[in-house]
Amino acid sequence: MPPRARRSYSRARGFTLVELLVALVAMALMALMGWRGLDSMLRSQQYTQAHTDAHAVLQTALAQWNADLEGLMALDNTQTIVWDGQVLRMTRRFAAAPSEGALVVAWTRRTSQGQDQWLRWQSLPVRTRSEWSDAWNQAAQWARNPSDDQRRRETALFPLQGWKIYFYRDGAWSHPQSSDSSGEAASPPATGAAPATPPSDIPEGVRLELDLAPGAGLAGRLTRDWVNPLRPNNRT
């Protein structure tokens, strides 16, 4: 066969089967590497978004916690802030409309939506001692065995593994159910009983310890201290 004819035949015959298989394998490897890189980027983006969302929810909840403490309102013949081991109840100003009266708010950890969550409850505005007493008792019931109506007034914040509360009194942190800094426990008031806490008995500080549930974007222990702005200024 003349040289010119051989060159024309070589161009016409195309790729061999081996060459085609090698090309397909190379393309498959490149596609696999590209998919792994894309999957890694998507996972990283999802983790970052989950972390950002969890952080935003946590900051919003803590801002509400601080607002409730800042709004504590001492009223005659009522209790201002009480922790009974399961629920923290507060009497606070109704910031949106002060003329409408006060609010009773409560914080607890309870199973909701299939998992343990940090929950907040808020009453309707109260203006009389009878209305306050009813809201105060409802807050205690809501933390243990809520009715459907009480559930409608709760807000589920985020999953919570555990939490603790401490009050700062007489120069030391102590359990809120202690009668003084010595740690002697005081019995929690029974539902419907007359208040045993003086109206002015707002602690100098409140410490919140949250054990965040793993897998929720944030995990570990978080400690948050609130300082009563009206505390005696006799120490640094």
pLDDT category of residue 12 using cuts at 50, 70 and 90: low
CB 214 within 8 A of CB 199: no
Q: What percent of the chain has pLDDT over 70?
A: 75
Of 53 and 182, more confident? 53
Q: What is the CA radius of gyration of the chain?
A: 31
User: Taking 90 as the threshold, does the pLDDT of residue 181 lie above it?
Assistant: no
State the Cα–Cα distance between residues 176 and 209, nearest whole angstrom. Answer: 13
Q: Is the pTM of this model over 0.75?
A: no
What does each C-alpha distance from 219 to 44, 61, 90, 120, 222 come to in angstroms?
A: 18, 16, 27, 20, 9
Choice among 55-64, 110-119, 147-156, 208-217 with the minimum mean pLDDT: 208-217
Q: Return the residue matching tokens 């559930």.
A: 151
Rounded mean pLDDT of 204-233? 85
User: Taking 50 as the threshold, does the pLDDT of residue 145 lie above it?
Assistant: yes
User: Taking 70 as the threshold, does the pLDDT of residue 88 lie above it?
Assistant: yes
User: Taking 60 as the threshold, does the pLDDT of residue 3 lie above it?
Assistant: no
State the Cα–Cα distance between residues 230 and 74, nearest whole angstrom. Answer: 12
User: Taking 50 as the threshold, does the pLDDT of residue 187 lie above it?
Assistant: no
pLDDT category of residue 191 using cuts at 50, 70 and 90: very low
State the Cα–Cα distance between residues 89 and 176, nearest whole angstrom. Answer: 12
pLDDT, the chain, mean: 81
CB 226 within 8 A of CB 209: no
116: part of which helix (H) or strand (E)?
strand 115-122
User: Taking 50 as the threshold, does the pLDDT of residue 196 lie above it?
Assistant: no
Of 201 and 108, more confident? 108
Domain parsing of the chain, residue ranges = 48-227
- Quick: pLDDT tens for 27-66: 877 777 777 766 666 676 666 677 778 788 899 999 999 9
pLDDT category of residue 144 using cuts at 50, 70 and 90: very high
Residue 117 has a CB neighbour count (10 Å cut-off) of 19
The per-residue pLDDT for 26 is 79
The per-residue pLDDT for 42 is 67
State the Cα–Cα distance between residues 156 and 230, nearest whole angstrom. Answer: 31
- Quick: pLDDT tens for 197-213: 444 578 999 999 999 98
State the Cα–Cα distance between residues 189 and 194, nearest whole angstrom. Answer: 8
The per-residue pLDDT for 28 is 78
State the Cα–Cα distance between residues 37 and 17, nearest whole angstrom. Answer: 30
Contacts of residue 157, Cβ cutoff 8 Å, sequence gap at least 6: 57, 61, 117, 118, 119, 120
